[in-house]
Amino acid sequence: MTDAIIEPLDEIGTRIIIVDPIDEVIQDMKNGNILRYIGETWWEIILKREASIILKATSKEFKAVK
């Protein structure tokens, strides 16, 4: 589906790919709201398990924090 553009993960984790996102999701990615939503929803695993939740869009990378 990704035509080998995305390489397999080299460590334990989960990758979520949003195929053909709606305009609202794209806007939330651009304005940073999606990271806030992730931080608010996954705060416990971020703090207690020291999880790294990374959002990659185009060539940029952003980290969700509590």
User: pLDDT, tens digit, for every residue of 13-58?
Assistant: 888 888 899 999 989 988 889 989 999 999 899 899 888 888 887 7
What is the per-residue pLDDT for 44? 92
What is the per-residue pLDDT for 41? 92
The DSSP element (H or E) to which 40 belongs, if any, is helix 33-41
- What is the domain range of residue 18? 1-66
Residue 33 phi/psi, 5-degree rounding, is -60, -35
Residue among 41, 56, 53 at smallest CA distance from 14: 53
Q: Do 35 and 62 meet the contact criterion of CB atoms below 8 Å apart?
A: yes
Please tell me the total count of domains within the chain: 1
Residue 22 phi/psi, 5-degree rounding, is -70, 165
CA angle 20, 23, 28 (to 5 degrees): 105
**7 pLDDT higher than 90:** no
